[in-house]
Amino acid sequence: MKSRILCLALALTMLLTFSSFALAEDEPYEADILCITFTGEPIADDAPTKLAFEELTNSLINFTWVADSNYEEKLNVMMASQSLPTIVVLKGLTSSVIENARYGAFWDLTDYIDDYEYLSQINPVIINNVSIDGRLYGIPRTRVLGRMGITYRKDWLANLGMEEPTTVDELYDVLYAFTYNDPDGNGENDTYGMTWCKYDGPLDIITTWFNGGNQWVEQEDGSVIPYFETDGYWEAMQWAKKLYDDGLVNEDFAVRDSAIWTDDFKASRSGVFVDCADAAQRMDSSLVEQGIEDAVWVIGTVAGPDGNLYNLPTAGHAGIVAITKAGAKTEEDLRAALEFLDSTNTTEAMNMFTYGLPGRDFTIDDEGYVVRTEGATDTINQENEGFNQFMTNVANTATQEKRSTIREQVYQVQYVINPDLCVANPCQSLLSSSTVYSEKGSTLETIVDDARVQYIVGQLDEEGYKAEIQRWYDQGGADLVAELSEMNQATK
């Protein structure tokens, strides 16, 4: 008891560096949470950060810890026995989670989240991605949604007297110049435009630039079509083929392993890399180690033929935090749980999740940036293990650390520019419930992906490509379209 009082005193003293949350006048909310531990030594009940967090959010948090290695097994047992606590971390929308949501184990939050300051800010694309039958049964554990970008050698661009590309046509010109106009100025024919690999991510990113959709495209009546049936997909594939035919991408991309995908950029052989925008940081670091500084930049996307900007999103989440009807038996209980979860998204709360205890583990400097205390990262990783696993971060409110120029640009691309440009996959949350997809999804995806690559490298002509698409329909694709269309229409 004495130890807990001392820890609480320490926590409260350090917490005074922040404004307190407005719930303080009420009785503390007792938050019973099923949560994940990765080490088996999660945060202690009397840990200073936990005590300060409870004071901030006016709560008493009671964790039930389950090891990550058998979390799903334990979760399934608890769902079957209806013994779940009020708040539950769900790592993904597994078949058992979907079944229990339909059975009524979790509260449907769809019509409630707009009543809360932070929960109302969840990106609609992420809501789509975690919905079950068109309804929201948990607050997403959000992750960066607009992660993709175009990393390029800005020093090469400057050497050639060219401007940053803003359209697909301008990007083509940059790739051509990087291949044929000696961008590094060494007099050798030793560079080319863009590196691809057998991973199909870059081709899907390019497809969004041409308004070709994200895997599936919703029609006005709520039915869906596969994205390869759009004009944009075809135009993107034609553009990609032109890059290949003109020698602007690596000839071996169809067999190049992703493990060596970045090598040519880091070795100054290629000048453009399309994938996660944060790759720019790693590319920059690699070149700096070689004595090449201030050479890398990144942008989110370029405009396609329709003049608009689109970006391919990630799933944008690592599961959800659900509220159970076993724990929250009334609507009043539900709203209390939602108010608690909303309060965990304030700047002060997110700073504790992210950086630890204010005053001990970090401070805020005169410019408003976080400054971590030396050695604090190791301290909070050990002392606070598992604590941030119920963090939802729906509004990205944490105070930021001061970044290098390239890291700041990556942040702007991923968190400021891209999110509003992301193209949702209307079937993202439906596929896990699709009978056809569970049986034939892998085979169908292989047919389409292989056909695209084979067309780009010239192994298939247009007639041969269309024959492969027909094979996709014949081997289950038609049934999948019908099933997903019916499922999607049922959510409207």
d(CA 418, CA 298): 12
d(CA 48, CA 380): 10
pLDDT mean over 71-79: 94
d(CA 448, CA 435): 19
Q: Is the pLDDT of residue 5 over 90?
A: no
pLDDT at residue 26, rounded to an integer: 78
d(CA 39, CA 67): 7
The b/e string for 245-277 (b: 16+ C-beta within 10 A; e otherwise) is eeebbbeebbebeeeebbebbbebebbbbbbbb
The beta strand positions in 146-211, using DSSP E, are: 148-153, 192-194
pLDDT at residue 4, rounded to an integer: 44
- What distance separates the 2 farthest-apart alpha carbons in the chain? 79
* Residue 228, SS3 per DSSP: helix
Of the candidates 179, 112, 100, the residue with the CA atom closest to the CA atom of residue 139: 112
**% of residues, the chain, pLDDT over 70:** 95
Helices 201-209 and 231-245: crossing angle, nearest 10°? Answer: 120
Q: What domains lie within the chain, and their CATH numbers?
A: 2-145+316-398 (3.40.190.10), 148-312+423-490 (3.40.190.10)
110-148: pLDDT as tens digits: 999 999 999 999 999 999 999 999 999 999 999 999 999
Q: Is the pLDDT of residue 38 over 80?
A: yes
Confidence label for 9 from pLDDT (cuts 50, 70 and 90): very low
pLDDT at residue 381, rounded to an integer: 81
171-190: pLDDT as tens digits: 999 999 999 999 999 999 99
The residue type of 89 is V
374-395: pLDDT as tens digits: 988 887 888 999 999 999 999 9
Q: Residue 404's CB: how many other CB atoms inside 10 A?
A: 12
d(CA 444, CA 402): 46
Which residue is listed with tokens 């409630």?
112
pLDDT at residue 376, rounded to an integer: 84
Q: Mean pLDDT over all residues of the chain?
A: 94
pLDDT mean over 323-338: 97
Confidence label for 25 from pLDDT (cuts 50, 70 and 90): low
191-233: pLDDT as tens digits: 999 999 999 999 999 999 999 999 999 999 999 999 999 999 9
Confidence label for 2 from pLDDT (cuts 50, 70 and 90): very low
Task: Count helices and strands (H / E) in the chain.
Answer: 18, 13
Helix (H) or strand (E) holding 37: strand 29-37
Helix (H) or strand (E) holding 285: helix 279-289
Assess contact for 76 and 105: CB atoms under 8 A. no
Between 1 and 243, where is the model more confident?
Answer: 243
- The predicted model scores a pTM of 0.90
d(CA 62, CA 41): 15
d(CA 303, CA 273): 17
